[in-house]
Amino acid sequence: MEMSCPNCGAELVAGTNFCRQCGAAVSSVGTASTDPGSEDPTTRLNKPDSVTTQRLDPRPTSDRGREFHPQPARRKTRRTIVAAVVSVLLVIGVLCGVFVFATRSRKHPGANAALIYPGSKTVVDMNYDDGSRALHLETADTLNAVESWYQDHLKPQKIMRLTSGSVVLKSGNTTATLVAEDNKTSILIKMTP
């Protein structure tokens, strides 16, 4: 048998003593209150034997009104360490760049530097374990100007003209091969000990 609230007419749940819709007390006619799921009547708070709720101090729930607290020392230390590591890496990178630039743009070292054509660009400079050296230079000067300069400075014992655009000059342990192509003159020098 379904029961309804005499106050609002809402359907009542079996075993309850009040309406869950309007809260009105309902007589438990036909319902047994010995049911373990049944509810006890509501206790009034104004009774002298009941314990009252204690009021707590209010706390703000947002950042407004709070004081600024500096970051913990651990975060500052971590940031300092990261900044130091980045700085050291930057310094190492700059030093490596300077070293590479200095190595690539260095003047031609050694006693054979007199055989380097003035104003030429070094394409390859290789030193071998047996003491020999190979150079590949490039210049915008004409083949005749480069050949004339090497005849004055190398003092070759042999000159071989291979084609109209190439010549080989040999003096002792040094061989200079000059080749003109694409408005440039390539100079290949091989020096043996």
- The answer to pTM > 0.95 is no
Report the distance separating Cα 89 and Cα 5, nearest Å: 80
* Residue 179 in this model has a pLDDT that exceeds 90: yes
- Structure-token pair, residue 83: 């900044």
- Per-residue pLDDT at 26: 80
- Mean pLDDT across 52-74: 62
| The two structure tokens encoding residue 94 | 């700059």
The one-letter amino acid code at 137 reads L
Higher pLDDT, 18 or 186: 186
Out of 4-8, 81-85, 100-104, 149-153, least confident range: 100-104
Query: What pLDDT is stored for residue 110 in this prediction?
Result: 42
Flag whether pLDDT at 55 surpasses 90. Answer: no
Q: Decide if 33 contacts 41 (C-beta within 8 A).
A: no
Residues constituting the chain:
193
